Structures are given as C-alpha cells and as structure tokens.
Amino acid sequence: MDAAALVETLAAPFTYEFMRKAMLGGGAVGLLCGVLSCFVTLKGWSLLGDALSHAVVPGVALSALVGAPFAVGAFLTGLLAVVAMGFVERHSLLEKSAVIGVVFTGFFAAGLLLVSIFPSQVRLQTILFGNLLGISDADLAQVACVGVAALVVIGLKWRDFLLYCFDPIHARSIGLETGRLHFTLLALLSLAAVAGLQAVGALLVVAMLVTPGATALLLTDRFGRMLVIAPAIGATTAVIGAYASYFLDGSTGGAIVSLQTILFVLAFFLAPKYGVLGWRRRLGLEPAS
C-alpha cells in the first residue's frame, strides 16, 4: 500500500458523519467522566459509581416509554436511588456496601423488567452496551447540556468538593455544608452516568468514572494536575477508541474502556513516583536506570 492509499484509509472514518458524531460525543463524555473520576477516586466511591450507573436504567426505560429525553428519567431515578440508599442506611444496621447492593441492584432489576415487558419501545442492548455510533444531533445536544452544567458546578465548587473528599470533618468544622456537597456530587455523578450510557452503556460506564482518575492518581499527587490528566485521558481514549472501532469492526465502548485500562496498567507499572517499578527502585530492590 502506497502512502496516498494509506492516508486515504486512515482518513476514511472522518468521511462518515456518524463517525464524526461518535468521536465528538465520545470525547465530550470522556472529558466529563474524567473530571468526576478524580473525585470518585479520592472519595473511594468506585462501588457507588458502579451502582449508580445501573440505577439509572429504569429511568432510561421509562423515558423511552413516554417519549421523554433519556437524561430526565435517568437523572431522576439516579437521585431517587441515592435518597433510598441514604434512608435505608440511616434506619438499619446494614453496612453501606450491603445497602448499595440491595438498593441499586433492585433499581437495575426494575429497569430490566420494564425492558422485557416493553421490548419494542426500549432496546436492552443499547442500554447495557451503549450506541455511540448511533448518536444523534439531539443526543449530542443533550450530552453538551449535561456536560456544560456539570462542569460549571465543578468549576465553581471544586475546592469545596476537594476538601470534602479529603476530610469531611474539617470541611464541616470550617462551615461548609457537607450534606449539600455530598448530594451535589452524587447528582453530578448521576448526570455523568446518564451521559456515559450513550457512549459505553450501563455495564461499562463505571470504568469511565473510575479509571481515568485512578490512572491520574498514579501519575501525580497534586489534585490540580489530576484535574488536567484525568479528563485528557478520558477524552483522548474516547476519541481514539471510537476511531479504532471503525477498523476493528468491534464494540466502540469496549475499545474505549480497553484503551483506558491499558493506560492504567502502564501507569501502574511505569509511573515515575507511584508505579510498581518506582517503588522497587526506592526500596533498593533493583538499581535505578
């Protein structure tokens, strides 16, 4: 294959409108999830993020049945699940992990039941695995609105969120309303989960809410840098993953999350300060190169 043919082949995805929309939408979702993944990682909310991504499923199903935007129903059921979890936790002896397991899986089961009852209105495969290649102009507008609203809130309150994630007791002692911060952060996670459903589906959206932040934490110990590295990872892997899926003829969501996982593994071993090899050098187990 000569150079001209190679360039034409590599540029082929950009000639299709659905691919351009997929890369644009995926990049926007990756950026938003990357920012929130910093707070999820610091707060230790990985399990909660996983559960929340499943809890929005009945909202998606109900929205499809009544013809409303997916974001509205998913956001409302996500918040309802959060409130239900808090109520059960306060009025029982169950540990938080058990409460999450009961409440959020119950919401997920309700969503699957609705899909099975009304299969013609709601596609289970789209909810579980996403449909980034089928993203429409309306979906892009929805992702843009959700992303801008979430990023504005984070931009205004990121220092408060940071203090709350690191030390909620100190945050409360200096007058911050930690209850409101807690609820707002959960609401933002619900919005991100809604946006991520279109890109990678309910089964993989947790990876976009955790992996970029976890990778960034291995690369730096400064939160300001994390807020740059994590969204860069999220957006870049989403664009490249969508692009690569054209040639692989495979799952777009799978390609995106696989790329993020590869970057995490590389950082886990090779990060200068916190990677496994870095720890071995500092402990004197192997000579520095």
DSSP sequence for 140-190: HHHHHHHHHHHHHHHHHHHHHHHHHHH-HHHHHHTT--HHHHHHHHHHHHH
Determine the Cα–Cα distance for residues 235 and 229; give it in Å rounded to an integer.
Answer: 10
Determine the Cα–Cα distance for residues 215 and 179; give it in Å rounded to an integer.
Answer: 28
Q: Structure pTM?
A: 0.86
Q: What is the CATH number of the domain that holds 199?
A: 1.10.3470.10
Report the number of distinct structural domains present in the chain: 1
φ/ψ of 204, rounded to 5, equals -115, -10
What confidence category does residue 122 fall into, taking pLDDT thresholds of 50, 70 and 90? low
The single-letter DSSP state of residue 289 is -
User: What's the full length of the chain, in residues?
Assistant: 289
Answer whether residue 276 is part of any domain.
no
pLDDT for residue 256 is more than 90: yes
**pLDDT value for 144:** 86
Question: Model confidence over 174-214: pLDDT tens digits?
Answer: 888 888 888 888 888 888 888 787 778 877 888 899 999 99
Contact partners, residue 71, CB within 8 Å, separation at least 6: 63, 142, 145, 146, 191, 194, 195
Answer whether residue 9 is part of any domain.
no
Answer whether residue 244 is part of any domain.
yes
Q: In sequence order, which ranges of the chain are alpha helices (DSSP H)?
A: 3-11, 17-43, 46-55, 57-66, 70-90, 96-117, 124-129, 137-166, 168-173, 178-200, 205-219, 223-248, 252-270, 276-282
φ/ψ of 121, rounded to 5, equals -90, -30
Answer whether residue 280 is part of any domain.
no
Answer whether residue 171 is part of any domain.
yes
Closest CA to 252 of 201, 178, 194, 190: 201
Find the mean pLDDT for residues 28-57.
Answer: 86
Answer whether residue 229 is part of any domain.
yes
Determine the Cα–Cα distance for residues 202 and 51; give it in Å rounded to an integer.
Answer: 10
**What percentage of the chain has pLDDT greater than the value 90?**
27
Contact partners, residue 23, CB within 8 Å, separation at least 6: 13, 238, 239, 242, 243
Answer whether residue 25 is part of any domain.
no
Find the mean pLDDT for residues 20-40.
Answer: 92
Answer whether residue 16 is part of any domain.
no
Contact partners, residue 278, CB within 8 Å, separation at least 6: 271, 272
Find the mean pLDDT for residues 104-125.
Answer: 79
